[in-house]
Amino acid sequence: MQFKNTKEFAQQLDSQDQLSTYREQFIFPKVDGKQVIYFTGNSLGLQPKNTQQYVDEIMKDWGELAVEGHFYADKPWWDYHERLAEPLSKIVGAKPSEITVMNTLTVNLHLLMVSFYRPEGKRYKIICEEKAFPSDQYMLQSQVKFHGYNPEDAIVEIKKRDGEHNFRTEDILDTIKKVGEECALILIGGVNYYTGQVFDMKTITKAGHDIGAFVGWDLAHAAGNIKLELHDWNVDFAAWCSYKYMNSGPGNASGCFIHERFHNKKDIPRFEGWWGTSKETRFLMKPEFEPMSNADAWQLSNAPVLAMAPYLASLQLFDSVGMDALIEKRNLIVSYLEFVLKEIDKEVDSTFEIITPSDPQERGTQLSVFLHGEGRKLFDYLMKKGVIVDWREPNVIRLAPAPFYCSYEDMYEFGQILKQGILEQ
Per-residue model confidence (pLDDT) at position 372: 77
Per-residue model confidence (pLDDT) at position 371: 85
- Nearest-10 crossing angle of helices 7-16, 323-347: 180
pLDDT digits (tens, 9 = 90+) for 163-202: 999 999 999 999 999 999 999 999 999 999 999 999 999 9
Question: Got the DSSP string for 212-230?
Answer: T-EEEEE-TTTTTTS---T
Taking 80 as the threshold, does the pLDDT of residue 75 lie above it? yes
pLDDT digits (tens, 9 = 90+) for 101-156: 999 999 999 999 999 999 999 999 999 999 899 999 999 999 999 999 999 999 99
- Nearest-10 crossing angle of helices 105-116, 134-146: 40
- The phi, psi pair for 239, rounded to 5°, reads -145, 155
Helix, strand, coil shares, percent, the chain, to 5: 45, 15, 40
pLDDT digits (tens, 9 = 90+) for 4-56: 999 999 999 999 999 999 999 999 999 999 999 999 999 999 999 999 999 99
What are the domain boundaries of the chain? 7-35+323-424, 53-321
Closest of 144, 133, 63 to residue 110, by C-alpha: 144
Fold of the domain spanning 7-35+323-424: Aspartate Aminotransferase, domain 1 (3.90.1150)
Note if the pTM is more than 0.85: yes
Per-residue model confidence (pLDDT) at position 394: 82
pLDDT digits (tens, 9 = 90+) for 271-330: 999 999 999 998 899 999 999 999 999 999 999 999 999 999 999 999 999 999 999 999
C-beta of residue 221 within 8 angstroms of C-beta of residue 194: no
Which tops the pLDDT comparison, 192 or 349? 192
C-beta of residue 411 within 8 angstroms of C-beta of residue 385: no
* Residue 329 bridge partners (DSSP): none
What class has domain 53-321? alpha beta
